[in-house]
């Protein structure tokens, strides 16, 4: 737990940049805040003590931590300002000092709060950047095992909880302790007998509130987990809204969301009950203590060992000291919750993908000769092998088609090339060098993937195409769109290339989205192109337009084509038939048809469709 706390503080570096000014702001705030209450003594004595007599003080009195010192200090100030004693002058001076003291107290309070706000904002920025970087750099397999909503929850709500853990550190270290210390010093100066009672009573308050705080950590962790599940359910529902409506499954989805929301609310209320109990409890205990002090302190006033002004000032300060004590303990509760959230955050930051750890340092300048699969094995979970001993070669400039029954491993093979995953055994080599020896960035700079599931972003058409090559000119983007048969429909949109296409390209048809994806690949102009059933989800008209665009894209490139409709790959240089993770046969279309094997059967089956 303490180790997690120290790691969280690491995001606040350089901490001294904020801690040093906050130290002085807190010190001065506590000083002027507590001094304001001491002004009660001369005000009351001046106005209501019939025996009060002003005493001139011509020299600055030496400091002593008691009420007599502050009375002498006030008399010295009055002597310097006024020639003769008048009650009106005393009240004017007291009012001016009270206003000035309150102004300075709140000024330093504001400066301290602003310092903490800067610390909070910068820390939050660093944590979110670090988490997003880790998530984006994670290997593709990580997202197969994680709920997207849970990741979003960690980056948003968990980070917000963590920031209080960090910023409250300064308050726990400086502001509240300074307030408590100054109040205690001045209370002792007024009456050590009443202060002795406070020393025994305040720890009782702290223990009672602390017992509530200790019970918050486990519900806080559960609350964060439930929030992740709720965000996941929300994300899934919004992404699949058309399917939900088409199957009349809204009732099922609502019940699932309602159950999660009810559980989250129950946990939140349980936490709130404990948190909200702390304030009324401390206030009740404070009032009860004041009741005891009224009796005890009143007897001291009657005996003459304590004046009335000092007694009232003491009660005022005692009623205030319970607030920083309560705040101090509440801040510890926030720190505990922040540490719990920090552990969830570090579960992402500490995840080191095998792909990242084995990333090489060699730069891929471009494909010169071939891509070779050499006895490649792959398993997602370490049990059943999805790819089992696959070996074949793709020469530069060739188009190689991967075909076979669904679930045979075609897409998995294609995903090994951009290193979304690494083989569990065997090697994939580019120009004789294993993929893992190249940096991922240089490898992916020379390839593009056009898949059945087109990924577009809530941005303009131009920005989505330009993602293939940031910095491309508008004319280059238009040229790529024309080659992809996309320019005509783009110009028909309300704002042309500046048209926003909505979340995941929802404002476009499937064929239009696919052609934008092809335009993106054309603009990038990759050495290696992977087409993963890019036309399988399209209608006949859209498929024709997209296939024309793909044929233009394939010219002069090394291409791996995963085809559902086998009629589109007759002209491939090599057809590799994959079945149950193994190569059943390979050759040209004519060779495989003459062989009469699995490929010929698949062609025959499709001819009857």
Structural domain boundaries of the chain?
Answer: 2-349, 356-446+526-609, 455-524
Residue 224 has pLDDT above 80, yes or no: no
Note the pLDDT of residue 82.
78
Instruction: Specify the CATH number for 356-446+526-609; select among 3.40.50.300, 3.40.50.720, 3.40.718.10, 3.30.70.141.
Output: 3.40.50.300
Note the pLDDT of residue 171.
72
Q: Among 38-52, 254-268, 424-438, which range has the highest average pLDDT?
A: 424-438
Containing 425, the helix (H) or strand (E) segment is strand 425-430
Half-sphere exposure in the Cβ direction for 221 (13 Å, CA) = 10
The arrangement of strands across the sheet holding 425-430 comes to 387-395, 370-378, 425-430, 433-434
Nearest one of 119, 152, 121, 118 to 135, comparing CA atoms: 152
Inter-residue contact 391 to 373 (CB < 8 Å):
yes
Q: Which of the 8 DSSP states describes residue 585?
A: E
Distance CA 276, CA 273 (A): 5
| DSSP, residue by residue, 226-256 | HHHHHHHHHHHHHHTHHHHHHTT-HHHHHHH
Note the pLDDT of residue 394.
92
Mean pLDDT of 121-125: 82
Domain pair 356-446+526-609 / 455-524, same fold? yes
**Six-digit token pair at 479?**
């040229």
Mean pLDDT of 601-607: 80
CATH class belonging to 2-349: mainly alpha
Mean pLDDT of 508-523: 85
Reported as a pLDDT band with limits 50, 70 and 90, residue 331 is low
Higher pLDDT, 387 or 39: 387
Contacts of residue 440, defined as CB under 8 A and 6 or more positions apart, other chains included, come to 355, 356, 359, 419
Containing 402, the helix (H) or strand (E) segment is strand 399-403
Residue 353 has pLDDT above 60, yes or no: no
Q: Report the SS3 class of residue 604.
A: helix
Distance CA 190, CA 312 (A): 10
Report phi then psi at 364, rounded to 5. -85, 115
Contacts of residue 569, defined as CB under 8 A and 6 or more positions apart, other chains included, come to 399, 401, 403, 561, 563, 575, 589
Is 0.85 surpassed by the pTM of this model?
no
**Six-digit token pair at 78?**
């009055």
- Convert the pLDDT of each residue in 282-303 to its tens digit: 667 767 777 777 777 788 888 8
Residue 53 has pLDDT above 70, yes or no: no
CA distances from 518 to 415, 454, 465, 487, 549 (A): 18, 10, 9, 12, 7
Note the pLDDT of residue 19.
84
Reported as a pLDDT band with limits 50, 70 and 90, residue 452 is confident
Residue 324 has pLDDT above 90, yes or no: no
Average pLDDT, whole number, for the chain? Answer: 79
- Convert the pLDDT of each residue in 162-213 to its tens digit: 777 777 777 777 888 888 888 888 888 788 888 887 777 767 766 666 666 5
Give the number of residues written for the chain.
609
Note the pLDDT of residue 247.
60
Q: Among 467-471, 536-540, 546-550, which range has the highest average pLDDT?
A: 467-471
Note the pLDDT of residue 256.
83
Which range among 323-337, 415-429, 595-609 shows the weakest confidence by mean pLDDT?
323-337
Distance CA 87, CA 94 (A): 11
Kindly report the CATH number that applies to the domain delimited by 455-524.
3.40.50.300
Q: Among 214-223, 400-409, 446-455, which range has the highest average pLDDT?
A: 400-409
Note the pLDDT of residue 111.
92
Containing 380, the helix (H) or strand (E) segment is none
**Six-digit token pair at 210?**
């602390």
Nearest one of 183, 436, 489 to 321, comparing CA atoms: 183
CA distances from 393 to 296, 553, 560 (A): 95, 21, 11
């Amino acid at each position: 737990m303490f180790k997690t706390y120290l790691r969280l503080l690491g995001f606040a570096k350089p901490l001294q940049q904020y801690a040093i000014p906050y130290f002085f702001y807190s010190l001065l705030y506590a000083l002027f805040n507590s001094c304001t209450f001491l002004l009660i003594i001369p005000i009351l004595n001046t106005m209501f003590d019939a025996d009060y007599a002003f005493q001139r003080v011509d020299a600055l009195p030496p400091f002593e931590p008691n009420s007599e010192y502050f009375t002498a200090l006030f008399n010295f100030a009055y002597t310097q300002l006024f020639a003769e004693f008048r009650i009106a002058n005393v009240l004017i001076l007291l009012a001016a000092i009270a206003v000035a003291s309150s102004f300075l107290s709140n000024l330093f309070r504001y400066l301290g709060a602003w310092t903490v706000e800067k610390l909070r904002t910068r820390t939050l920025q660093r944590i979110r950047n670090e988490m997003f970087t880790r998530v984006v750099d994670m290997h593709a397999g990580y997202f197969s095992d994680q709920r997207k909503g849970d990741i979003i929850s960690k980056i948003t709500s968990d980070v917000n909880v963590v920031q209080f853990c960090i910023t409250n550190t300064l308050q726990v270290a400086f502001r509240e302790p300074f307030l408590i210390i100054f109040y205690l010093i001045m209370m002792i100066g007024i009456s050590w007998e009443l202060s002795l009672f406070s020393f025994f009573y305040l720890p009782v308050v702290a223990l009672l509130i602390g017992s509530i705080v200790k019970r918050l950590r486990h519900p806080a962790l559960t609350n964060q987990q439930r929030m992740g599940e709720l965000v996941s359910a929300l994300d899934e529902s919004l992404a699949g809204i058309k399917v939900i409506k088409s199957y009349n499954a809204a009732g099922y989805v609502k019940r699932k969301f309602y159950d999660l929301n009810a559980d989250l609310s129950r946990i939140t209320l349980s936490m709130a009950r404990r948190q909200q109990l702390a304030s009324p409890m401390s206030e009740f205990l404070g009032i009860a203590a004041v009741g005891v002090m009224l009796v005890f302190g009143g007897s001291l006033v009657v005996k003459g060992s304590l004046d009335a002004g000092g007694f009232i000032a003491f009660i005022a300060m005692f009623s205030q000291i319970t607030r920083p004590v309560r705040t101090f303990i509440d801040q510890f509760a926030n720190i505990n919750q922040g540490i719990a959230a920090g552990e969830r955050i570090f579960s992402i930051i500490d995840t080191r993908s095998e792909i990242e750890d084995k990333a090489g340092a060699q730069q891929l300048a471009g494909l010169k000769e071939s891509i070779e699969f050499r006895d490649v094995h792959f398993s997602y979970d370490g049990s059943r092998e999805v790819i089992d001993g696959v070996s074949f070669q793709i020469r530069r400039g060739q188009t190689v088609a991967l075909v076979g029954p669904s679930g045979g491993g075609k897409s998995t093979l294609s995903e090994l090339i951009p290193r979304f995953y690494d083989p569990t055994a065997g090697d994939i080599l580019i120009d004789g060098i294993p993929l893992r020896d190249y940096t991922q960035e240089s490898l992916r700079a020379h390839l593009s993937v056009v898949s059945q599931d087109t990924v577009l972003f809530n941005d303009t058409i131009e920005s989505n195409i330009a993602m293939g090559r940031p910095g491309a000119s508008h004319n280059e983007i238009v040229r790529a769109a024309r080659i992809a048969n996309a320019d005509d429909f783009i110009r028909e949109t309300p704002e042309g290339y500046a048209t926003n296409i909505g979340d995941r390209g929802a404002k476009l048809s499937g064929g239009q989205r696919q052609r934008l994806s092809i335009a993106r690949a054309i603009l990038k102009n990759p050495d290696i192109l992977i087409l993963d059933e890019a036309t399988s989800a399209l209608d006949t008209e859209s498929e024709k337009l997209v296939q024309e665009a793909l044929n233009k894209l394939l010219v002069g490139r090394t291409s791996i084509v995963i085809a559902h409709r086998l009629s589109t790959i007759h002209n491939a240089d090599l057809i590799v038939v994959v079945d149950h993770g193994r190569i059943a046969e390979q050759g040209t279309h004519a060779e495989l048809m003459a062989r009469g094997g699995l490929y010929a059967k698949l062609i025959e089956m499709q001819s009857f469709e």
